Structure 1
Amino acid sequence: MTEKIKIFLDTDLLEKYLLGATSTEESLQVERYIAMYPEVRETYNELQENLEAFAKLHALKVPVGLKDTILHKIRQQKRGTSKFLKYAIAASFAALIFAGSSYFFYNQNKNLQEENTLVTNKIKDLELDMQVQLEDIRNQYIVLNNPNTKKYSVRGNKKAEELKAVAYVNPVKKLSYINVSNLPQLPEDKCFQMWAEVNGEMVNLGIIKDIDDKDKLWAMPYADNAIGYITIEQQGGNATPTVQNIVANINY
């Protein structure tokens, strides 16, 4: 645990945050630490659980008629009536306030728990997206720099003579990518779509949206004797390739 996290945990900011007693600036700091540091998040979850257990233990409803019972007993007392009455009423209201505050903290804790779950899920999604992106970048680096990678030039047919692309295939690492360096202009209601035929199954690789992005590498599923296609489809893409609109074959 770093000194920075230890100093933060030694403060009472987490407890104040759970009770809704932090300022806007303090709340932002607490939420940032919870999102960034697992040690802080674990301590926060433990405090939540302890608060919920406390709230459940003490969140008791005031029995019906408790106040009337107390007042009835007071009337039966012959001595110290006035003084005892004040104490009894105070105790009754104290019980009501305590029960109400316990219920308030219980609800507050449930809301915080739901918010914490939402934040945790967002963090997990971001971590998963980051892992996928890092894995893709690592694979691109391997394909472009590994001596076992083979390059295949791809040219368009008569329907798209300006089309140029290069396929990169590494049979050792079993990775395949394609870089589309040039595409002809299409009408607004048309688009280019990429496909790969792997083990007899056609896989949709997506629409080529930005024809100006000449450095983009498109990942292709690897398989022995796989074939890639580029087709012209209606804007928005198609679920299956339009065979008569194939403009390029990619044999890899």
Structure 2
Amino acid sequence: MKEKIRIFLDSDLLEKYLLGDTSTEESLQVERYIAMYPEVRKTYNELQENLEAFAKMHAKKTPEGLKEIILNRIRNERMGRRRFYRFAVAASIAALVFAGSSYFFWNQNQDLQKTNTMVTNKIKTLEEDMKVQLEDLRNQYIVLNNPNTKKYSINGNKKAKELKAVAYVNPVKKLSYINVSHLPELPEDQCYQMWAEVNGELVNLGVIKQFGDKERLMALPYGEDAIGYITIEPQGGNQSPTVQNIVANIDY
């Protein structure tokens, strides 16, 4: 029985329930566990209190409007997903109508079927991308609201003194994000690029947009004793970091 409770507490169902992100079946399971097991009820109450206390203590440190931006993006992504489902149905109906029109238009129907296949494949690709984006937004929301999340302020070295960033690391959920709020201007032929060294492997996290969304969170690969870097590279990015051009170190 204790193992059953431990497995439940190690999952993220309590956090999802607090955020209103559980299905009907999951909500019933959470409510049943809270009612039946004192350990679960105690953890649930503590999590509620910790979330409220954490939000009050750190409200000023979180970038202004970030949570609202994330929630709006989630709603927009869901609306977009429903539009793509309707578009897929419409494309399929159109293909059936034209395919059965006439033998004399067989060649035209063949072209239409190819087009429909391309459209369907494109829709599937977009749906997969949207799933990934929704999962990323959900993880961001969890990290910003979870009491186990740690924040690390990051400043640039003498090559980029005005660089400002905040790393959010949650060792329980094994999630890491960074918000680069300010980057000094660079010449047009240079850019900032982010890297992470996790378990001995160097990961290229891509170019940081100098004039992009200041409230945007970038995902960092999670790992114990992970290290991140921000470097100055030629415009378009580099395949490996230019060590002498490291402008910020991120130990998370």
Fold shared, TM-score > 0.5 on shorter chain: yes
State the shift of 1:117 in Å. 0.6
Partner of 1:247: 247
Q: Which has the larger radius of gyration?
A: 1
Alignment of 1:144-155 (within 5 A): 144-155=144-155
Alignment of 1:203-242 (within 5 A): 203-211=203-211, 213-242=213-242
**Structure 2: how far apart are the matches of 1:118 and 1:239?**
33
Q: TM-score, normalised by structure 1?
A: 0.61
* Change in CA separation of 1:105 and 1:141 when aligned onto 2, cut-off 3 Å: same
Aligned length: 170
**Structure 1: how far apart are the matches of 2:98 and 2:143?**
48
Partner of 1:162: 162
State the shift of 1:105 in Å. 2.5
Q: TM-score, normalised by structure 2?
A: 0.61
Task: Assess if the C-alpha contact under 8 Å between 1:191 and 1:236 holds in 2.
Answer: yes
* Change in CA separation of 1:47 and 1:188 when aligned onto 2, cut-off 3 Å: closer
Partner of 2:138: 138
Task: Assess if the C-alpha contact under 8 Å between 1:34 and 1:44 holds in 2.
Answer: no
* Change in CA separation of 1:40 and 1:208 when aligned onto 2, cut-off 3 Å: closer
**Structure 1: how far apart are the matches of 2:166 and 2:84?**
46
**Structure 1: how far apart are the matches of 2:163 and 2:184?**
6
Q: 1:36 aligns with which of 86, 94, 97?
A: 86
State the shift of 1:211 in Å. 3.8
**Structure 2: how far apart are the matches of 1:211 and 1:178?**
16
State the shift of 1:46 in Å. 5.7
**Structure 2: how far apart are the matches of 1:160 and 1:34?**
43
Task: Assess if the C-alpha contact under 8 Å between 2:154 and 2:250 holds in 1.
Answer: yes
Q: Identity, % of aligned pairs? A: 69
**Structure 2: how far apart are the matches of 1:122 and 1:234?**
33
What residue identity is the alignment partner of 2:215?
A: D
For the pair 1:117 / 2:167, whether they are aligned, the reply is no
**Structure 2: how far apart are the matches of 1:199 and 1:185?**
32
* Change in CA separation of 1:214 and 1:44 when aligned onto 2, cut-off 3 Å: closer
**Structure 2: how far apart are the matches of 1:247 and 1:126?**
36
1:165-223 CA-partner distances (Å, limit 9, x unpaired): 11000111111100111221212221111000011111111111134632111111111
**Structure 2: how far apart are the matches of 1:233 and 1:241?**
8
* Change in CA separation of 1:148 and 1:138 when aligned onto 2, cut-off 3 Å: same
Partner of 2:62: none
State the shift of 1:146 in Å. 0.9
State the shift of 1:47 in Å. 5.8
Question: Mind listing any 5+ residue stretches in structure 2 that lack a counterpart?
Answer: 1-82
Partner of 2:42: none
1:82-123 CA-partner distances (Å, limit 9, x unpaired): xxxxxxxxxxxxxxxxxxx73x23212212211111111121
Find the residue that maps to 2:159 and give its secondary structure. helix
What residue identity is the alignment partner of 2:126?
A: L
What residue identity is the alignment partner of 1:127?
A: E
**Structure 2: how far apart are the matches of 1:170 and 1:238?**
29
* Change in CA separation of 1:231 and 1:110 when aligned onto 2, cut-off 3 Å: same
What RMSD, in angstroms, separates the aligned Cα atoms of the two structures? Answer: 2.5
State the shift of 1:133 in Å. 1.5
* Change in CA separation of 1:40 and 1:183 when aligned onto 2, cut-off 3 Å: closer
**Structure 1: how far apart are the matches of 2:107 and 2:227?**
59
**Structure 2: how far apart are the matches of 1:42 and 1:182?**
47
State the shift of 1:153 in Å. 1.0
* Change in CA separation of 1:119 and 1:35 when aligned onto 2, cut-off 3 Å: farther
